[in-house]
Chains A and B, each alone.
Chain A
Amino acid sequence: MATKNKYDRQLRLWGAEGQAALSAAHVLLIGAGPTGTEALKNLVLPGVGEFTVVDGERVGESDVASSFFARECDIGRPRAVVACELLLELNPDVRGQSRVVSPEELFRSEPEYAGSFALVIGAQLDPLSLQTVGEACWKRSVPLVVARTCGLVGSVRLQLRRHEVVESKPENTTWDLRVGDPFQTLEELGRECAGMWESWSSFERGRVPYAVILAAVAERFRRERGVLPETARDKADFRHRITQLGGDLENVQEACENCYRVWTSSSSLESLEVRLSHQDASDVTPLVKVLRGIAKFGRIPIAGPIPDMHADTSQFVALQRAYARAANADAKAVRELVPSEVPDDYVNYVCRHLRDVRIVATRSLADELESPDLEDAADALAESDDPTKLAQTPVLWYVALRAADRFLLKRKRWPSTDPLDVKDLVADLQALSAGKLPWTPDTWDHHAIELARFQNAELHAVASVIAAVAAQEAVKLIAHMYLPINHTFFFNAINASAATFEI
């Protein structure tokens, strides 16, 4: 029997909230070639709300050869119109329109244009258009995803002036147990446990959830020493105290495994300093308002959920409820400190995920062009001493592609395999990389010749990988879930490797 909901499979990744954000988003695609249309396809299928395609060119033979969204019969028609028509066929829930105009011209005459979109994708833009689009998006704080395919290599670059992620969904959940800094009920449970332990039978001891045991031992440790364990010796001592309680009990073993939570479960706002520093941001978003409320509140509100523990069911359920009650109380108190225009649900949402809140900013494209920082990328080159492996490192191709772009800017054409062009390109590559990379090839000839051969072509199989990554990042940005890459993803199809780096 068929599922009614065609989005069922993706909802299981990004949830109803992510889907709602996606279907409310209006996305701008600039550049309707193979890379751009494939990227937009990956947003139309899962149900983006609306899109606009901007492109000034007409469908040519190479589009038909390498794009799914341009047919033989479309040759000569505007690429934007054709792409829009064919993309809309994919999903009747999505609205879309096109504008037949070169991006350069559009952004010159309407500098505010980017401001009305949730996100802009710039695909296969020439270096000049990219600068214009990049500046326009930066100025209006619109997230920009730049996708580019060149023969057997390609890249995705994000430009984010300030991007908020509430649910970064780290791979490992960090539970907020507060065992070293207990709230009232937990403190009471711990005290009761400490008081009764000696008189309990082994069976009764085995029923106590480990969080309570940890709270009890931490409380005693602090009373004796004035502080929680800090040094390795303290920590070993603490662990020893736990083991003493009965190493054969499963809950005690669990407590021992989770000892570290005692010294990492602080409620102090300092541990969130980086995130909270954004409370002074000029752009006062709802998230900033909640963060300011939390700063006034004075400590991290309790998240609520707790992991499964070996324990008597009723004790565990009671503990679960205690955490949930404490979390509600904290969220309520924060609520009072946040302006009323921020909805209750959102305040709760932020309180619950506060540990996963991230605020991300990348360098601007203009900055990167002005003063490329190859330090991060250099790390990848320091890892091997095999020159044949090193030559394929994505960052070298990044540098090579940059040189080819400079050639294009200067000469208004892509370099050819003509020895003179190659010589020029190699010279520029040496200038770009000299002293900035820990390793460079003896000769850049190989990279230069290959790039000349690629002719900046959008090979479909490569474009489709680049487009998929670009769309994936777009979904993350639109949904404000998961951490976006920072800031460049580079794919080398010669050996199917891809790396991310900050330049």
Chain B
Amino acid sequence: MGDRYSDGVSSLGPQTMETLRKAKILVVGAGGIGCEVLKNLVLLGCERIVTVDLDTIDVSNLNRQLLFRREHVGQAKAVVAREVVARLNPRACVEAHHANIKDSKFSVSWFGEFEVAANALDNVDARRHVNRMCLAAGVPLVEAGTTGYLGQVFVIKKGETACYECFPKPSRVAYPICTIRSTPDKPVHCVVWAKELFKLMFGGGGESMLYEDAAVEKSAYAGLAAEAAATRSPAIIARLLVALFETDVAKQIEAGTYKTAKTTPKPLVGLRVGTPPSRAASDWDRREWTVEECAGELSLSIQDARINEFDKDDPAAMSFVAAAANLRCANFGIERQTLYAAKGIAGNIIPAIATTNAVVAGLQVSEIVKVLTSQKPSYTYCLRDPTRKGYLLQPTALDEPQPGCYACRSGSVTVALNTETTKLETFVKKFVVGNLNFVKPALDLGESGIYDEEDDRLSENLGSSLSDLPAGGIKDGAIVKATDFSTDLDLTIVVKHLPDLDDQQYPEGFRILSDQQGPSEPKKRSLRSDDDDDVGKKAPEVEEEEDDVEILEEPPPTKKRPKDDDVVLLLEEPPPTKKPRL
């Protein structure tokens, strides 16, 4: 080691530096947090890094993703990030995959090669996937997320700390149809309604919440909406606006919809289609449009809209939603929104800034070092305002795995066998029943059932060898979900293909590679009542927007601020010969 690592050696100690250099580290995501993590790892002296990212670079990334420049827009994030960080240290070997982490090539055994993985992702789905893969492969995972000024970092270690799925995520709010269709009382209800109207007109109407079977019920606008979308004729559009914002509202009042409601809407009588707000004005999207302007804007955007799903970045679609939502707000006496605000609601945009990402990425690297040097990891909150005691970054103890967690608590077991010669019947009888002590097993491969004692239709699979089974077969790296209905136990079985298993040593035809949860004593899942206090406390947040998902009631709820009393300073005072570490 030359001068390059001298600072690290003096502060962290030579053994730690050596460990860092040799460790194989996975960084999933090369976006806001990922860029920072990659840079930090390389500059810390880590030499074996692999990054995976599906995305290409977008202009809106440039305000915080420091590895990317304008000329990179459109290129693969992982590839550009690799090029830039590899230059920081000639000894560093950085491998990039422009791919979906859910791709089957990233199998459990592929994950198993890493000493530690870091999640720098922008969506719950991929996070869950990596969580399960790391649990299955026994790789510690350092999870991180930010929203605006808030962030958190925590470590998932199988069997020791709570996993990503131990606490339910804040669920996306689905609004009751009647609120959207008849009784909105918040701007977001009107925005959702406008998106549904867009879907009805331009996105294949059948799925729209506003769609109704003409034979059953007839609104004042359904026919006109279809006609306006088809003809784009300003005259028809004008009639549609009257139908939407006057006639239909009046009709609903008459039908007694609002008899017992607190609020009665007001039909927009004599709605004038004004001039659309001028786009030349600098405050075009920041100013509240008048009702007449909204009508003008809506008319114009109906003429321009493309037949497509709603996309907040499609100008005509977004204008449509903002204008229609505002007219509906006017009906119901709800405060109107600027286009800018409506876009935030409709696109579920989560603010993101360079500084929070940098703090979180720095903490994530600290936790990676702790994991690699076997120190006790922590769960750290990054707060906007200091706590009563002045803490801005607050380390707290990690939770234990939650007894009810299906992802981690039911455990997993890795078994090696010859998938080409082993029959399903042998697998079930000798392994699942004989070894794992399952009483009434059912096995699923992906979404497909392959065996269920109580389902005769599946019994024909028993004679097939594992690799020939439906749903792709049980091949090397396959994950089989085993459920025991009698003990209510779920278990993940990872299968490795081992063609030359020594049948003298393993006469039963399989070899168990890991068995950490002790599935030989199946436990009943305990009810959650004991842990209810913690439920929902620590759901990680997403870093970036997810388009076209059900709209959140509000940005992901800020977590219950940890109480000051929760502060636990985790590092034991190191013995004098031992170095403190990051």
B-contacting residues, A392-414, CB 8 Å: 392-393
> When chains A and B are docked, how far (Å) is the Cα of A393 from the Cα of B344?
41
Which of B65-73, B288-296, B491-499, B508-516 lies at the interface with chain A? Answer: B65-73
Question: Chain B residues near A491 (CB, 8 Å)?
Answer: 393
The interface bits of chain B over 259-278 (1 if a CB of A lies within 8 angstroms of the residue's CB, else 0) are 00011111000000000000
B40, B395, B572: the one contacting A388 at CB < 8 Å is B572
The interface bits of chain B over 326-367 (1 if a CB of A lies within 8 angstroms of the residue's CB, else 0) are 000000110100000000100001111111111101110111
A13–B149 touching, CB < 8 Å: yes
A2-B73 contact, Cβ under 8 Å, with A46-B353, A152-B580, A171-B385: yes
Q: Shortest CB–CB separation between residue A238 and chain B, in angstroms?
A: 25
Q: Does A164 contact B (CB under 8 A)?
A: no
A464-B570 contact, Cβ under 8 Å, with A6-B62, A41-B66, A472-B355: no
A-contacting residues, B249-266, CB 8 Å: 262-266
Question: Chain A residues near B63 (CB, 8 Å)?
Answer: 6-10, 45-47
B352–A10 touching, CB < 8 Å: yes
Beyond contacts A1-B313, A72-B90, A388-B569: 13 other A-B pairs, Cβ-Cβ < 8 A, are A2-B313, A8-B63, A12-B351, A34-B43, A45-B63, A47-B63, A65-B8, A68-B66, A151-B11, A384-B569, A497-B391, A499-B390, A500-B392
Q: Does A446 contact B (CB under 8 A)?
A: yes
> When chains A and B are docked, how far (Å) is the Cα of A459 from the Cα of B391?
22
Which of A84-92, A138-146, A178-186 lies at the interface with chain B? Answer: A84-92
B3, B43, B389: the one contacting A67 at CB < 8 Å is B43
Shortest Cβ distance from A472 into B: residue: B355
Q: Does B553 contact A (CB under 8 A)?
A: no
Q: Shortest CB–CB separation between residue B7 and chain A, in angstroms?
A: 4
Q: Does A371 contact B (CB under 8 A)?
A: no
Q: Does B36 contact A (CB under 8 A)?
A: yes
> When chains A and B are docked, how far (Å) is the Cα of A489 from the Cα of B382?
13
Question: Chain A residues near B11 (CB, 8 Å)?
Answer: 151-152, 453-455, 457, 459
B572–A61 touching, CB < 8 Å: no
> When chains A and B are docked, how far (Å) is the Cα of A65 from the Cα of B63?
25
Q: Does B386 contact A (CB under 8 A)?
A: yes
Interface size on B, residues (CB 8 A): 91
> When chains A and B are docked, how far (Å) is the Cα of A388 from the Cα of B569?
8
Shortest Cβ distance from B378 into A: residue: A496
B8, B64, B359, B579: the one contacting A465 at CB < 8 Å is B359
Shortest Cβ distance from B574 into A: residue: A446
Show the binding face of B for A, using Cβ within 8 Å.
3-8, 10-12, 36, 39-40, 43-45, 58-64, 66, 69-70, 73, 87-90, 148-149, 153, 185-186, 262-266, 286, 311, 313-314, 332-333, 335, 344, 349-359, 361-363, 365-367, 369, 378, 380, 384-386, 389-395, 564, 567-573, 576, 579-582
A9, A310, A496: the one contacting B60 at CB < 8 Å is A9
A1–B43 touching, CB < 8 Å: no
B-contacting residues, A431-476, CB 8 Å: 445-446, 449-450, 453-455, 457-462, 464-465, 467-469, 471-472, 475
> When chains A and B are docked, how far (Å) is the Cα of A16 from the Cα of B66?
22
> When chains A and B are docked, how far (Å) is the Cα of A312 from the Cα of B333?
9
Question: Chain B residues near A3 (CB, 8 Å)?
Answer: 58-60, 313
Please provide the 5 A-B residue pairs with the shortest distance between their CB atoms, ordered closest to farther: A313-B333, A468-B358, A465-B362, A460-B43, A457-B7
Q: Does A268 contact B (CB under 8 A)?
A: no
Question: Chain A residues near B362 (CB, 8 Å)?
Answer: 461-462, 464-465, 468
Q: Does A316 contact B (CB under 8 A)?
A: yes
Q: Does A5 contact B (CB under 8 A)?
A: yes
Q: Shortest CB–CB separation between residue A475 and chain B, in angstroms?
A: 7
Shortest Cβ distance from B335 into A: residue: A320
Question: Chain A residues near B349 (CB, 8 Å)?
Answer: 8-9, 12
A89–B393 touching, CB < 8 Å: no
Question: Chain A residues near B394 (CB, 8 Å)?
Answer: 497
> When chains A and B are docked, how far (Å) is the Cα of A376 from the Cα of B388?
12
Shortest Cβ distance from A38 into B: residue: B358
Q: Does A298 contact B (CB under 8 A)?
A: no
Question: Chain A residues near B351 (CB, 8 Å)?
Answer: 9-10, 12-13
> When chains A and B are docked, how far (Å) is the Cα of A241 from the Cα of B22?
73
B3, B264, B353, B395: the one contacting A497 at CB < 8 Å is B395
A468–B359 touching, CB < 8 Å: yes
> When chains A and B are docked, how far (Å) is the Cα of A450 from the Cα of B6?
15
